Structure 1
Amino acid sequence: MVYLGVVPTALAFSTWAYALARTDAGKLGVTTYLVPPLVIALGWLLLDEVPPALAVVGGAVCLAGVALSRRRGRVSPPLAQEAGTRA
């Protein structure tokens, strides 16, 4: 008997390869961030699996950390070098 996880995995990898052949890897890589929220939402909707409150808090902390690390600070203009000095 075929393990039930093989068919969905093969389908997922085939879909990924199809999409990768048609777009940039960097753009497609961003879509992997959508997997956890989709899985949680589908589990809640289809299987009535309610995520624990601590898991929701942990997810929020992770998202806050990503947002903080990706934040762009102000860029100050480069200082003019003095005449006659070399960097």
Structure 2
Amino acid sequence: MSLQEEFKNAAERSKTDISERPSNEELLKLYALYKQGDEGDVKGERPGGFDFKAIAKYNAWEELKGKSSEDAMKEYIDLVNKLAN
């Protein structure tokens, strides 16, 4: 199975195989790793105002700037596997 296929499989498993709700920190890490693996470096402007959830998601993704998509995919797969157990 290719890395791309494992990544997509992990994304599907993240919706069904994680029985306990991950912490907010883990959720942000899942989001950021997924976005970095799928789209690469963060794009667009940082959200403003009082949309704290959007700001937190943007900041988490921005922290991964420069990380290769392949590395982000591997870390995402590892994190899903860890949370699913």
Query: What TM-score results when the alignment is normalised by the length of structure 2?
Result: 0.29
Q: Which has the larger radius of gyration?
A: 1
| TM-score after normalising by structure 1 | 0.29
